[in-house]
């Protein structure tokens, strides 16, 4: 199926309301069954849509996974949320802010459907996606990569391709590469990264190396992780036991904080490592307690028993 079928469908059916658009899309014979199932099964409008009102409505009216969460941390107020319902999830519901006008609702619906066609969310997952109208309208300037991809598809960009795989900031891709043994040669990734974005390279100053008493592999690791986080929003540090992962990570936090790119780091740790974390953070003059602290230590065992909402609050609060 031509990936640009979707934007053509949208432009051919511009006069339809959100509800009509959804039912027409579901009845469309050309559409693949997988995508037909992904079209939101219903649209629910809520006044003053926010995390609390959303969970309240979900709890009252829909079966949801107890682990239901968001792909990215939601702001206080958003304009739409695409939520998988059923247990396990077998359909989507699109929640819209009731105060929006019809054309804004339509934009958010098209945007949500583009996400589904691109495979950003899939049935069986427990992830929801929120959007703000201003971000969706920003199109290719949207700050989130998924949103830029969804905009590209809606705009009929030939480079936008529906993806069969589930991709959260590249995690799905990294996972399948790991499983298939398709991994970089030693140093190849660091070198490629350095070459591709020379201007982005983050240096660990000699002062910081001395203060944290870093080994060369830690200084280099911290610099690479900081760059990866900037570019990909995700990084995995998997040094062997005893090589100083905690110190390397504390250095990353310090680097990003000094550059004004990180307000606060949430650290999930088992209780027995908490003291170690405190010592390492203190060594780098990173604060841990109270408002405005550089890092927040969270007990991993308590954290995993929280509801998604409590967990979100714990991380952000
Ligand atoms: Zn979006």
Distance 164 CA to ligand 1 centre (A): 18
Distance 146 CA to ligand 1 centre (A): 6
Q: Per the domain annotation, does 163 fall within a domain?
A: no
Query: The tokens of 108 are what?
Result: 């958010």
Query: The tokens of 275 are what?
Result: 């003291």
Is residue 268 domain-shared with residue 257, that is, in the same domain? no
Residue at which a domain ends, from 236, 262, 288: 262
Distance 313 CA to ligand 1 centre (A): 22
Q: What is the pLDDT of residue 203?
A: 83
Tell me the per-residue pLDDT of 144-156, one tens digit each, with 9 for 90 and over. 878 888 898 888 8
Distance 68 CA to ligand 1 centre (A): 17
Q: Per the domain annotation, does 175 fall within a domain?
A: no
Is residue 53 domain-shared with residue 146, that is, in the same domain? yes
Distance 67 CA to ligand 1 centre (A): 21
pLDDT in tens, the chain (317 residues): 666 788 899 999 999 989 899 999 988 888 877 777 778 888 999 999 999 999 999 999 999 888 888 888 888 899 999 999 988 788 899 999 999 999 999 999 999 998 888 878 877 778 899 999 998 998 877 778 788 888 988 888 766 665 544 444 344 555 556 666 666 665 666 666 666 666 667 889 999 999 999 998 899 899 989 988 887 888 999 988 888 999 999 999 999 999 888 889 999 999 999 999 999 999 999 999 888 899 999 999 999 899 888 888 888 76
Range of the domain at 284: 263-317
Is residue 214 domain-shared with residue 257, that is, in the same domain? yes
Q: Per the domain annotation, does 159 fall within a domain?
A: no
What gap in Å lies between CA 62 and CA 51, rounded to an integer? 15
Distance 133 CA to ligand 1 centre (A): 9
Is residue 302 domain-shared with residue 203, that is, in the same domain? no
Is residue 45 domain-shared with residue 102, that is, in the same domain? yes
Q: Per the domain annotation, does 174 fall within a domain?
A: no
The pTM for the full model equals 0.53
Closest CA to 94 of 105, 86, 103: 105
Q: Dihedral of the CA atoms 297, 299, 304, 310 (nearest 10)?
A: -60
Q: Per the domain annotation, does 76 fall within a domain?
A: yes
Distance 252 CA to ligand 1 centre (A): 29
Residue at which a domain ends, from 154, 174, 207: 154
**Number of domains present in the structure of the chain:** 3
Is residue 129 domain-shared with residue 230, that is, in the same domain? no
Instruction: Indicate left, alpha or beta for 120 from its phi (over 0: left) and psi (-120 to 50: alpha).
Output: alpha
Q: What is the pLDDT of residue 181?
A: 67
Q: Per the domain annotation, does 98 fall within a domain?
A: yes
Distance 92 CA to ligand 1 centre (A): 14
Is residue 68 domain-shared with residue 136, that is, in the same domain? yes
Is residue 256 domain-shared with residue 148, that is, in the same domain? no
Q: Per the domain annotation, does 177 fall within a domain?
A: no
Is residue 138 domain-shared with residue 218, that is, in the same domain? no
Q: Strand 42-46's sheet: what is its strand order? A: 42-46, 89-97, 80-86, 127-131, 69-70
Q: Per the domain annotation, does 166 fall within a domain?
A: no
Is residue 131 domain-shared with residue 77, that is, in the same domain? yes
Length of the chain: 317
Is residue 123 domain-shared with residue 237, that is, in the same domain? no
Is residue 47 domain-shared with residue 18, that is, in the same domain? yes
């Amino acid at each position: 199926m031509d990936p640009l079928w979707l934007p053509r469908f949208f432009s051919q059916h511009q006069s339809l309301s959100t509800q009509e658009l959804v039912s027409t899309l579901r009845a469309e014979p050309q559409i693949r069954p997988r995508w037909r199932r992904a079209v939101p099964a219903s649209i629910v409008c809520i006044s003053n849509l926010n995390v609390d009102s959303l969970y309240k409505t979900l709890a009252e009216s829909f079966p949801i996974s107890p682990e239901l969460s968001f792909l990215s941390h939601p702001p206080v107020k958003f304009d739409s949320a695409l939520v998988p319902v059923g247990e396990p999830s077998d359909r989507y519901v699109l929640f819209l802010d009731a105060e929006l006008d019809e054309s804004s609702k339509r934009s958010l619906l098209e945007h949500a459907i583009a996400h589904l066609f691109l495979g950003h969310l899939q049935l069986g997952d427990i992830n929801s996606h929120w959007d703000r109208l201003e971000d969706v309208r920003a199109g290719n300037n949207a700050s989130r990569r998924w949103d830029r991809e969804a905009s590209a598809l809606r705009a009929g960009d030939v480079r936008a391709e529906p993806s069969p795989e589930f991709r959260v900031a590249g995690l799905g891709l990294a996972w399948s590469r790991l499983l298939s043994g398709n991994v970089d040669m030693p140093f190849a990734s660091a070198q490629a990264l350095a070459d591709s974005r020379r201007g982005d390279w983050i240096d660990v100053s000699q002062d910081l190396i001395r203060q944290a008493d870093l080994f060369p592999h830690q200084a280099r690791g911290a610099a690479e992780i900081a760059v990866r986080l900037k570019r990909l929003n995700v990084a995995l540090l998997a040094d062997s036991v005893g090589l100083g992962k905690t110190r390397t990570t504390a250095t990353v936090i310090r680097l990003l904080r000094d550059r004004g790119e990180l307000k606060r780091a949430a650290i999930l740790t088992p209780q027995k490592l908490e003291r170690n974390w405190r010592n390492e953070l203190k060594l780098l003059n990173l604060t841990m307690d109270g408002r405005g602290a550089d890092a927040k230590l969270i007990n991993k065992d308590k954290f995993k028993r929280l509801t998604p909402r409590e967990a979100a609050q714990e991380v952000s609060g």
